[in-house]
Structures are given as C-alpha cells and as structure tokens.
C-alpha cells in the first residue's frame, strides 16, 4: 500500500498492508486531516520519529474477525493503553505510561491507504454525522476535554487566546457553555469565521487587557502563556491547550500571590465529540480550507502551514 | 512608641502611637514572628517598601471603642479588603485588589510596641491555645490553605519539597490528612524534627525520583518547581507555596501532555488554624529556634537567616 513515511523527511513509500490479529481491525482510510502535531513531527518535535504520521481520520472497516463489521464507517481513539495499569483501570488509557499513540508514539498513523487499530479503540460514526464533521472528531474531543477538566459557568468571563485550527473548535465548545467568551487572535480572516458563529472576537492590535475568570491558551506562544498569567483574576484558571516547542520564562510568584490554577489539557474522549456533534447539529465544513488527493500529500503538508489556512484534508480514495 | 522601620534599610524609630477610629482597635504587641516574607522585604522584594514590617503576632487589646475588648488576647487577619468588591463579597478579602496587607502592603505591621488593625480583621485567641502555638496562627493558616484548595486523600502519594519554617507546618497539616507523605529536604537537622513527628523524610542527596499524585513546592527554589513538574503523575497536582525572587525556565509541554494542574497557594483563614490547633492539641514550640527582646530585633533578623534556624520570635514586652 501507499503510505506517507517520516524519517527525518517526508516521503511516499510503498509498504506491505498491515496484518491484523484477532484484537485488531484493518481500516481503509477515506479522509485524514493534517494537525499541528503532524507539522511539528516533520519539524523534529518527536526525536527519532520513524513511521507513518496522522491521527485525525475516518474510514471503512476493511478486514476484521467479526465480518459484520466490514464496511462500517469508523475512526479510532488515538491512545491505546496497556489495559493493565493505574491509568487504564481508571479509564484514562490516554495517560497510560505504556500507551501507543496513533501516528505519534509506536503506532503507524492514518496517512496511508490502510491503518490497523486495536478493536477496543474503534469508534463507530453514527450516520447522522456527515463526513465533513466526522473528520473533526479527534480535535473536537481535545477541545471538549477542557470542559471535562474545569467547570465553566454562564457568568464566567473567558478569554481564548488563539484563532487557529484547534482554537476554532475550542471557541465553539466554550461558546456553547453560554459563558461570556472573547477570542483574542491576530488573523482577521480567522477571527471573522468566529464572528459568523456569533462569537465575540478581538484582534491583538486593539486588545485592551482586562481580567478574566478563565483564560485558555491555544496559540502555542509561550509569550501568550505569560500574558494569560497576568490577565487572569485572582483564583482564576489558565488552561494550556498548546504544546510548545520553546521554553517559557516567568516568575511563578504571580501564580502564588493570586492563587492561580494552571491546568494542562490534551486529548479528550471521542464519545464526547460525537455527542456534541449530534446535540449541536453544527456544520464544521467551513473549517476545511483545502482537500488534496493522497498523491499530493507532501504539497498538502506544505499548504497547511500557509497563513490563513485552517484544516487541510487528504482524501485517500 | 518604638517600631522597626524599613526604608531601604532596617532601623528602630520612635514614632507616635497610631490613633484609632471607631473601626479599629489598638493592640499592644506581645510576640511577633519573623517570616521569610519579612526577610525578603529587607532584600527589596517589594519595591519602594516604606513602613513597619511584621504580620505574625499576637498581643493584648489596648484601646478600643468597646471597652469590654480591652485586655483580650488577639491576633489579626493580615489582609483587609475594601468590603465592596467581587472578592470581598465572596469572603475572599485576601484577594481584594484594594486590600491592605499587614506589614506588607499599605498597613504598618507588628514589629512595634503597638499596632492598629481594623475591627473586622480581629481574631480572638481561645485560652486553650498557648502563646507558643498562638504565634504560628498566621503561617499555619497559610499551610492549611492547601487543603482548602485541593482534596488530599489517604491513598494519595504526596511529596513536600522543603524543610524550612513554612514547610514544617505544611508537613504537619498534610500528615494529618493520613496520606502517604514524604518530605524532601536538604537540612538533616530540620528533617529530623519531622521524623520526630512520625513524618517520612528523605534527604536530597539520597532521593530516588518516583511519581507522586501531589507535589507541594515550599522550598522557594525555581529548580524545585521544574523537578516537581517532572515527578508528578499524569493528571497530578503541583502546589506552589513559595514566592520566588528568581524566574523559572521550563517547557510548558510537560504540563499539557500530562495534563498537570499547577496551583498557587498563599494566605489562609485564621479560623482554620485555630480549629487545627484545638483539634490536634499539637505543641509547636519545637519550631521556635530563638526569642529576642525588641531592642535586639535587628540581630534577630540576622539570626533568622542563619543555617538551621527556624522561627525567630521577637518579644515586645
């Protein structure tokens, strides 16, 4: 099969179709989305990375021991735990120290014709969820993780820093809580997408600092993290939603004096994303900037890093 | 009256006794304790500080509109709010943006013969609390603040970093939760005080890193903060209890990937400290290293910074 392989550089390779055991299924990938983590992998975020990236996808089951599964439209939880540790026992396999992570840690990802996933990570996509929403299940789950970690109330004044791919989804999720949300960004075109969703936005150039109950940092800038600490109310919460390639320098005294809570937030449960899509009936297709055939995937990677581009989809067949 | 004054350097001054209004009382200070914040003030922690430091004290009411109060043994909450803002309305005057803080922000402190405090900050000390415990009410309240902010369960593995004045009190408070506590320190003599309280300790030189549910950083070292982030379990909590004069450099990605919560913790409610002293019947006198007469206060400040010295008390009369 054809697969995108990263090993210090990106290349399309022809490799054998993965063999499945009774614990796995083989999925024929239909669409795969390019995420910032994929871009970071190509920039060396994970030292000695060697494999097929890609963790946002959906496809059709192609091979499984249970033949009734064949043809079903599915995606898969990206973290697969050992099922035998403190974390797996708590239902938190996404924190299992021995976990594999699809396309990221010790498991080949979705930028290939076929992908093998453990049966217990399989997520069936209800018919009511259209393809242009299905492709967002993974990042939407990550956005929803925030409201599983902290309680956002209607009276909360919330600032979201960032207007990129993930921030757009976070904005939708936070907006649905009914709180007083403002999104701070620096891309007029991306902010205008939020305005169309009736979400209050402010451009960095005209931002007048104020104090917020909750600040969500999703811009990936460590400078933004420092600003978040300065603009959150005493006893307020700063949610860190980006991973950072650079280090932060700050005086932790502000966190102590104002008793601020800083909380990191990563992957979420896919089930929550499916519920959200069904409950809100939202149409996320406006977040798809480009769709490329698989043969064009290296160009798609390049394109997804261009200014103004949001989600880039690779269509495998 | 005689008072210790700081204005770029420490000196004893003779100044008028404060005049009280109907909203204040005048306390004749009996004992005042030297805290690390006092030391930091003398090192320039608060730019342009100009006044009488000292916020750990007890004394006898000397003057009040209600004459029945005279002679009562009291201390006072150090934060006095405006009583008219979001924070004061929530009972969190210690986060009021317009608060005064005894001996720290806009209100003269306790290293003086007399101190004036607002009537509503007054805390009456029950007779059952001996003087050698009463002097610890303020820092003990700060230690107890941790368990008002986070829930520590018996099954939690907790690491406390630090063995100094405040850390000793934190250790007692955390030990009483019944959790699996280890205190990490670098002063053999201070660690042995904890061992005598049946608290598990480990010297930094023989520390084998492990993973903890909760790590409390009370050593004041920003390097310790970085270590705490590395040694806390995924989804674990790091409590920052020190204020830092230096900045920290760290890659916030670890906080995100492991979904760590970092929470700052400052002052607590005096009432909790009084309850704790009454409930536990603990004797804190072993934490007092030295007692100096007021005339010797500048030497007492010097002494409290010596290796191995814990609480230094200044006896005003």
DSSP code string of B247-275: -EEE-THHHHHTT-EEEE-----HHHHHH
Determine the pLDDT at residue B252.
81
Sign of the C-alpha dihedral computed for residues A98, A103, A109 and A112 taken in this order: negative
- Closest partner residue to A240 among B234, B242, B255, by Cβ? B255
Is 70 exceeded by the pLDDT of residue A245?
no
Best residue of B259, B261, B267, B269 to probe chain A, by most A CBs closer than 10 Å: B259
Q: What is the mean pLDDT of residues A251-260?
A: 88
List, for residues A48-71, the tens digit of each pLDDT value: 899 999 999 999 999 999 999 999
Dihedral angle of Cα A160, A161, A167, A172, to the nearest 10 degrees = 20
- Closest partner residue to B265 among A87, A241, A256, by Cβ? A256
Is 80 exceeded by the pLDDT of residue A101?
yes
List, for residues A194-229, the tens digit of each pLDDT value: 999 999 999 999 999 899 999 999 998 878 888 899
Least confident of A40-44, A102-106, B200-204: A40-44
Determine the pLDDT at residue A44.
85
Query: Could you tell me which chain A residue has the CA closest to the CA of B150?
Result: A261
Query: Could you tell me which chain A residue has the CA closest to the CA of B149?
Result: A259
Is 80 exceeded by the pLDDT of residue B288?
yes
Determine the pLDDT at residue B243.
77
Determine the pLDDT at residue A243.
77
List, for residues B4-29, the tens digit of each pLDDT value: 999 999 999 999 999 999 999 999 99
Strand A157-161 relative to strand B10-14, pairing: unpaired
Determine the pLDDT at residue A223.
82
Give φ, ψ of B238 to 5 degrees.
-110, 120
Is 90 exceeded by the pLDDT of residue A179?
yes
Rounded CA gap, B237 and B259, in Å?
9
What ipTM was assigned to the predicted interfaces of this complex? 0.91
Determine the pLDDT at residue A2.
97
Is 70 exceeded by the pLDDT of residue B153?
yes
Rounded CA gap, A103 and A35, in Å?
11
Rounded CA gap, A181 and A166, in Å?
16
List, for residues B161-199, the tens digit of each pLDDT value: 999 999 999 999 999 999 999 999 999 999 999 999 999
Q: Cβ contact (<8 Å) for B252 and A87?
A: no
Q: Cβ contact (<8 Å) for A255 and B235?
A: no
What pLDDT band is residue A127 in, cutting at 50, 70 and 90? very high
List, for residues B57-95, the tens digit of each pLDDT value: 999 999 999 999 999 999 999 999 999 998 999 888 889
More confident residue, B248 or A134: A134
Percent of chain B, pLDDT > 90? Answer: 87
Count of other CB atoms within 10 angstroms of residue B69: 17
B87 to chain A, closest Cα gap in Å? 9
What pLDDT band is residue A254 in, cutting at 50, 70 and 90? confident
Is 90 exceeded by the pLDDT of residue A247?
no
More confident residue, A220 or A233: A233
- Closest partner residue to B264 among A149, A249, A256, by Cβ? A256
- State chain B's mean pLDDT as an integer: 95
Residues in A touching B97 (Cβ below 8 Å): 234
Q: Cβ contact (<8 Å) for A263 and B262?
A: yes
pTM for the whole structure: 0.92
Query: Could you tell me which chain B residue has the CA closest to the CA of A96?
Result: B234
Q: Which residue has tokens 């990129």? A: A164
Percent of chain A, pLDDT > 70? Answer: 99
Residues 6+ apart with CB under 8 A from A61: A25, A26, A27, A28, A69, A70, A71, A72, A74
Q: Which residues pair with B114 in a beta bridge?
A: B28
Q: Cβ contact (<8 Å) for B234 and A87?
A: yes
- Return the CA Rg of chain A: 20
Determine the pLDDT at residue B45.
80
List, for residues B233-258, the tens digit of each pLDDT value: 999 999 999 877 667 677 788 899 99
């Amino acid at each position: 099969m054809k697969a995108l392989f990263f090993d210090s550089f990106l290349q399309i390779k022809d490799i054998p179709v993965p063999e499945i055991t009774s614990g796995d299924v083989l999925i024929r990938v239909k669409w795969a989305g390019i995420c910032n983590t994929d871009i970071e992998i190509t920039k060396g975020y994970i030292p000695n990375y060697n494999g097929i990236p890609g963790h946002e996808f959906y496809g059709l089951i192609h091979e499984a021991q249970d033949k009734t599964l064949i043809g079903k439209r599915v995606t898969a939880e990206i973290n697969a735990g050992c099922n035998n540790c403190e974390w797996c026992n708590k239902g938190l396999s996404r924190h299992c120290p021995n976990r594999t992570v699809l396309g990221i840690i010790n498991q080949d990802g979705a930028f290939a014709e076929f992908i093998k996933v453990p049966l217990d990570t399989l997520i069936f996509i209800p018919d009511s969820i259209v393809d242009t929403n299905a492709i967002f299940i993974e990042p939407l789950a990550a956005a929803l993780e925030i409201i599983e970690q902290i309680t956002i109330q209607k009276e909360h004044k919330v600032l979201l820093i960032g207007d990129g791919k993930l921030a757009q989804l976070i904005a939708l999720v936070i907006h649905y809580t009914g709180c007083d949300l403002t999104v701070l960004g620096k891309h007029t075109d991306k902010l205008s997408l939020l305005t169309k969703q009736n979400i209050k936005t402010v451009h960095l150039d005209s931002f007048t600092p104020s104090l917020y109950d909750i600040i969500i940092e999703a811009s990936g800038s460590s400078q933004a993290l420092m600003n978040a600490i300065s603009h959150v109310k005493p006893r307020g919460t700063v949610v860190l939603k980006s991973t950072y390639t650079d280090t932060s320098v700050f005086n932790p005294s502000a966190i102590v004096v104002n008793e601020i809570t800083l909380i990191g937030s990563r992957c979420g449960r896919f089930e929550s994303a499916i519920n959200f899509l069904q409950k809100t009936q939202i149409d996320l297709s406006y977040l798809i900037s480009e769709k490329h055939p698989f043969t064009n995937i290296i160009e798609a990677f390049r394109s997804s890093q261009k200014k103004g581009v949001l989600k880039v989809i690779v269509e495998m067949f």
